[in-house]
Amino acid sequence: MKKCMTIFLTFTLWVSFGTQVADAAKFRIGHHRSVMGAVTIVAHKVGYFNQTLGKGKYTIKQFPQGKVMRQAILANALDVAGAADRAFYSAISKRANISGIANANYWCKANRLLVSPKSPIKSVAGLKGKKLGVGKATGTYFTFKNFVLPKYGMTTNDYTAVNMNNDLRISSLKSRTVHMIALNNPQAAIAIEMGIARSVETFCKYANNLWIIMGNGKTLKKLRPQYVQFLRGFIRGMKLHQSDRKKFVKVYRNHLQSKGAKMSYGVVNASVNDLDFRLLPSEKDYKWFDFMGKVLLKVRKAKRAVDLRKEGMDLSMAKEAMKAEGWSDPSS
């Protein structure tokens, strides 16, 4: 029995090691399951990465949170992925071995505060004494606590935060377990279309939320050509978003449905319409990072202040890809 078990474990380890070696030979891409990952998955599904990286020469994996992708990069399980501005800045402040290689998109319009259609709540001020359904460990909640609440003269003592995953927030709002939820598209757009929720507001008045494309510091130099090719495929995905929105929506919707999500064309269209693009950070973006960094230091989510104009960003690959693809960022 022991001999059989030893053989089984040896075989399992051999297969696992062989798989890791095979995957390590391919360029490893991570993407977010919410709308922030739309361009990456569309570029994959349409075949743009096959064109730029080569068919069979990359892997792609879906993640529920940018923070999880950041950790996967730090564990050398991915080469490229995305994360929210807060998670990225925090990592750079701790001298993590990653670099921001481009902006993926601006997602403040995709991040919504929702209430029931007949709720008397008209703004965040109406949350006092009530319950908010939210993921407590997310960048969404960090932004809400530190940039939205202060505008209303409120603190976390003014309401009760109920920690829950995305898939539970809509049902909790419907059952009135909570009075407000924070949710990203496309889930937020689904709830609105179903008549379960009404949008109170987005985060755009309070935060300049960026989704940052991160490169793995352990492979960035060695695989530089692949990073450029990844960005070229990504740019083609952005171009499709601009030139043929119907096709972009159709491809993204097919992907979501393949993952078990049932949603209309209108929901997906509303979700991807909320994305804005600019690959190279503007001075407005850097000023946002400066301001956010001070808040992160204050709440001990950053080890030190970082000027991302001078540290933590390597935009040379994005500039090379932009030139090759004829892409120009819109003016800031």
Task: Specify the fold of 109-202.
Answer: D-Maltodextrin-Binding Protein; domain 2 (3.40.190)
Please tell me which residue, 331 or 266, carries the higher pLDDT value: 266
Question: Domain limits of the chain?
Answer: 21-107+209-325, 109-202
User: Residue 228 above 90 pLDDT?
Assistant: yes
Q: What distance in Å separates the CA atoms of residue 37 and residue 30, rounded to the nearest whole number?
A: 9
Mean pLDDT value across the chain: 89
Specify the pLDDT at position 104. 87
Per DSSP, the three-state class of 209 is coil
Query: What pLDDT score does 17 carry?
Result: 42
* Rounded Cα distance, 318 and 175, in Å: 46
Question: Are the CB atoms for 267 and 193 separated by under 8 Å?
Answer: yes
pLDDT greater than 80 at residue 183: yes
Q: Which residue has the tokens 């990225």?
A: 88
Q: Do domains 21-107+209-325 and 109-202 have the same CATH topology?
A: yes
Please state whether the peptide bond connecting residue 120 to the residue before it is cis, i.e. omega within 30 degrees of 0. Answer: no
d(CA 58, CA 83): 20
Question: Does the pLDDT of residue 165 top 80, yes or no?
Answer: yes
Query: What 3-state class would DSSP assign to 276?
Result: strand
Alpha helices (H) along 25-60? 38-46, 48-49
User: Between vectors from CA 135 to CA 132 and to CA 138, what angle results, nearest 5°?
Assistant: 125
Q: Answer whether residue 11 shows pLDDT above 90.
A: no
pLDDT of residue 172: 93
| Mean pLDDT to the nearest integer, 231-260 | 95
Is 7 a residue whose pLDDT tops 50? no
31-88: pLDDT as tens digits: 998 888 999 999 999 999 999 999 999 999 999 888 899 999 999 999 999 998 988 9
Q: Is the pLDDT of residue 298 over 80?
A: yes
E-assigned strand segments in the chain:
27-32, 58-63, 80-84, 98-106, 111-115, 131-134, 160-163, 180-184, 198-202, 210-216
Task: Provide the 10 A C-beta neighbour count for residue 124.
Answer: 21
Residues of the chain above pLDDT 70, percent: 92
The yes-or-no verdict on residue 6 having pLDDT over 60 is no
Beta-strand pair 131-134/160-163: parallel
pLDDT at 64: 83
Could you please report the per-residue DSSP string of 144-212? IIIIIGGGGT--GGGSEEEE--HHHHHHHHHTTS-SEEEEETTHHHHHHHTTS-EEEEESTTT---EEE
pLDDT at residue 312 greater than cutoff 70: yes
Percent share of the chain, pLDDT over 90: 67
- How confident is the model at residue 24, as a pLDDT? 56
Domain 21-107+209-325 sits in CATH 3.40.1390.10: no
Identify the residue with better confidence: 249 or 109. Answer: 249
